[in-house]
Structure 1
Amino acid sequence: MSALHSIVVKRLGKRRTKRGKRGAAAVEFAMIATPFIFMLFGIFETMMIFFVQTTLEAAVSEEARKIRTGQAQSLTAPITKEQFKANVCARMMGLGDCSTRLFVQVQNQPLSGTLPTPWEDGTLTPGSADDEPYEATAANAIVVVRGYYVWPLITPGISNAMRNFSDSGGTLGNYNRIIAATSAFRNEPFN
């Protein structure tokens, strides 16, 4: 009887240990999945920032060429500030809200000094002369064309590390990354 008893106890013991390990994989997956998912979102958000950066640089460069060659200053159909901004937005392939988050500037470079940073006061106002100046340029003038896009950050944790602009006015939110593209050149002698 003792041999039969020991066989039954061994089999029951094995079943009990199998039942005890049954939920371990689910618990281990839950412990690993949460940081893994946040890491994936962080990678995706970083990838989107680089993609928007590349797209904005290409858009500003292509549209700045119209100023450099004199097409934007033509007497028959000059490009207005609104048209220039719309052209940059169209080249960004619908990646964002251009009406409130895209800022473009066309300025003659002063002979001495630097151009001001538009968000130094903590606010950005679409269409304002301070945040979006659009100066007329002449042949052989040194011109700086800048485009800024205020990208909203959404991934918890990475938002604090990557933000470089908090809108004190409150319309753009506290977690933003300003993406900038610049094209500086001397206009061609198009006159």
Structure 2
Amino acid sequence: MRIKRQKNLAVAARALGQDTEGATAVEFALVSVPFFALIFAIIETALVFFAGQLLESATADASRLILTGQAQGQDQSWFKEQICERTIDLFGEDCAGLQVDVQVLGSFTPPSGPPRDEDGNPDSSGFGYNPGNGGDIVLVRVMYEWPVYVSLMGFNLADLPNGNRLLMATSAFRNEPFGTPVAAN
């Protein structure tokens, strides 16, 4: 009985190897396009969420420098560099696309939503760098336009008119009661 079953399996394997009609290739061709589109959509979604989380984490870490008074006397490019150092080059080697805004608020009521122009694009024209003094309420906003590549079959992560996705990290806090920084002699 065992020999007969092995013989039947061998015959079936040979018959499968001799099939030259190409049905398998045609079936794969039909299934491969949606399969690879789904795989790429999953990868892109994971990258977008990873980049957003990384931007949030880098912003929170760099904001501690303002919160503790270590960023007073610095400028916007220095603070942007501090964020960039914490992003493992995911936003480019020099983080040229990062837009950073640090401002002092009168209360914990932040501005509504990301600033946009009349076309719906991010507007960073009013961005500046004011880390405030001890006890001030500070708002840190960091924006980055993430390029979106997969937009097949109704799947699209883009939320900007140019087809990119806006990643934004925000941190609002009250500075610790540090004194006025003393200039080094």
Q: TM-score scaled by structure 1?
A: 0.74
Give the count of matched residue pairs: 159
Shift of 1:36: 0.4
- The answer for the alignment partner of 2:176 in structure 1 is 188
- The answer for the alignment partner of 1:106 in structure 2 is 102
Listed as ranges, the gaps of 5+ residues in structure 2 are 1-14, 180-185
Shift of 1:160: 6.1
Alignment check: 8 A CA contact 1:109 1:115 kept: no
Listed as ranges, the gaps of 5+ residues in structure 1 are 1-14, 167-173
How many Å separate the matches in 2 of 1:89 and 1:158?
A: 34
Alignment check: 8 A CA contact 1:150 1:177 kept: yes
Q: CA RMSD in A?
A: 2.3
Shift of 1:112: 7.9
Secondary structure of residue in 1 paired with 2:27: helix
Map residues 94-173 of structure 1 onto 2, 5 A cutoff: 94-97=89-92, 98-99=95-96, 101-111=97-107, 114-115=110-111, 117-121=114-118, 122-124=120-122, 129-130=125-126, 132-157=127-152, 161-166=156-161
Give percent identity, aligned residues only. Answer: 37
- The answer for the alignment partner of 1:32 in structure 2 is 31
Q: CA offsets, 1:129-166, max 9 Å, x none? A: 41x32124111011111111110100132786321112
Q: Which runs of 4+ in 1 moved over 6 A?
A: none
How many Å separate the matches in 1 of 2:82 and 2:154?
A: 30
One-letter amino acid of the counterpart of residue 189, structure 1: P
- The answer for the alignment partner of 1:65 in structure 2 is 64
Alignment check: 8 A CA contact 1:108 1:144 kept: yes
- The answer for the alignment partner of 2:44 in structure 1 is 45
How many Å separate the matches in 2 of 1:150 and 1:43?
A: 19
Alignment check: 8 A CA contact 1:60 1:182 kept: yes
Shift of 1:38: 0.5
How many Å separate the matches in 2 of 1:50 and 1:135?
A: 29
How many Å separate the matches in 1 of 2:51 and 2:42?
A: 14
The 1:179/1:112 distance shift into structure 2, 3 A limit, reads: closer
Secondary structure of residue in 2 paired with 1:161: coil
The 1:156/1:135 distance shift into structure 2, 3 A limit, reads: same
Alignment check: 8 A CA contact 2:150 2:156 kept: no
